[in-house]
Amino acid sequence: MSTRTADTRRLAVAAAAALALSLGVTACGSDGGDKASDRSSTAASASGAATTGASSGAAKVSGPITVFAAASLKETFTDLGKKFEAANPGAKVTFNFGGSSSLATSINAGAPADVFAAASPATMKTVTDAGGATGEPKTFVKNTLAIAVPKGNPKHLATLNDLAAPGVKVALCAKEVPCGAAALTALKAAGVNLTPVTLEQDVKGALTKVELGEVDASLVYRTDVKADAAKIDGVEFPEASKAVNDYPIAALAKAPNKDGAAAFVAYIQSPEAQQVLTAAGFQAP
């Protein structure tokens, strides 16, 4: 073989090797690019899924939810309970309405409940002090008093002073109950001393005495007067501004349905629920 032929072969081999090396590098570069592209697509998909999950909102709550609530909340909470159930078809809200002080006592004694809505911070405090609430209770409405009288106001009662007139029979809530504590505050602000013929354990009891004609007047919440307008009349008085009750609500520490409790508490503070409450005569917090 001539020297020229050998040189030619060596050049051909070198060229082929160079070409193979070039193709290998290109292939590796392409594979890395594909993997990077795959990683980008995966990240984008995950981001999109997270965004979709956030925009879809929290899952609907379900199961029984037991709410202990002040008697003065009966009409509005019954309505709001139905609306809550409509928005959460798997949930069933059950209420226990009564005097806030007795409800607090029951909760502290271990009564199974998910939510407590009280008519005063003092009654809620008995539960929080015992470690019975989850988080800080939230004030969701305020309420003030009015004088409830029979239809037509036959005794022509116009002020708190009129309640102390001879022959006027008055029903009050017991002082341990928020409506009773508020009544004492209002009477003190007016400088009025009176002896009620009965002390009731919740505001509905005091209102019923007027409905039945057993008393000439009772001091109840404005919301109760409005809810019972077909049966009784209400008289406003200026000292009511001295006895405004804050209504706090809290999920309970031993709630059997913790998710349901949290959801109901949040719902009561929502614009929809607030609209129902203020339409009933409650004041915004």
Same domain, 212 and 92: no
| pLDDT at residue number 55 | 28
Give the CATH number for residue 193. 3.40.190.120
Bigger pLDDT: 38 vs 170 = 170
Determine the structural domain holding residue 122 and report its residue range. Answer: 63-142+246-279
Contacts of 169 (CB under 8 A, 6+ apart): 197, 214, 215, 216, 217
- Give 61's DSSP letter: P
Half-sphere CA count of 184, side-chain side, radius 13 A = 10
Same domain, 133 and 150: no
Strands 91-98 and 63-70 turn out to be parallel
Same domain, 236 and 170: yes
127 vs 103: CA distance, rounded Å: 10
Residue 177 backbone zone (phi > 0: left; psi -120 to 50: alpha; other: beta): beta
pLDDT of 149 strictly over 80:
yes
Same domain, 176 and 98: no
Q: What is the pLDDT of residues 154-168, one digit of tens each?
A: 999 999 999 999 999
Mean pLDDT of the chain: 85
| pLDDT at residue number 60 | 81
Same domain, 211 and 167: yes
pLDDT of 127 strictly over 90:
yes
Q: Which of 239, 225, 226, 223 is closest to 143 using CA atoms?
A: 223
pTM of the model: 0.78
- Give 236's DSSP letter: -
Q: What is the pLDDT of residues 32-73, one digit of tens each?
A: 444 344 434 333 333 333 322 222 335 689 999 999 999 999
112 vs 94: CA distance, rounded Å: 12
CB 220 within 8 A of CB 146: yes
- Tell me what the mean pLDDT of segment 221-231 comes to: 97
For the chain, strand residue ranges (E) read 63-70, 91-98, 115-117, 133-143, 145-150, 170-173, 198-200, 217-221, 232-235, 245-252
Same domain, 163 and 218: yes
> 133 pLDDT band (50/70/90 cuts)?
very high
pLDDT of 20 strictly over 70:
no
- Tell me what the mean pLDDT of segment 202-229 comes to: 97
- Tell me what the mean pLDDT of segment 6-25 comes to: 38
Give the CATH number for residue 106. 3.40.190.10
| pLDDT at residue number 22 | 38
Q: What is the pLDDT of residues 191-200, one digit of tens each?
A: 999 999 999 9
Percentage, residues of the chain above pLDDT 70: 79
Same domain, 75 and 124: yes
Bigger pLDDT: 259 vs 17 = 259
25 burial type by CB count under 10 A (0-12 exposed, 13-18 middle, 19+ buried): exposed
pLDDT of 28 strictly over 80:
no
Length of the chain: 285
79 vs 71: CA distance, rounded Å: 14
- Tell me what the mean pLDDT of segment 19-30 comes to: 36
CB 250 within 8 A of CB 101: no
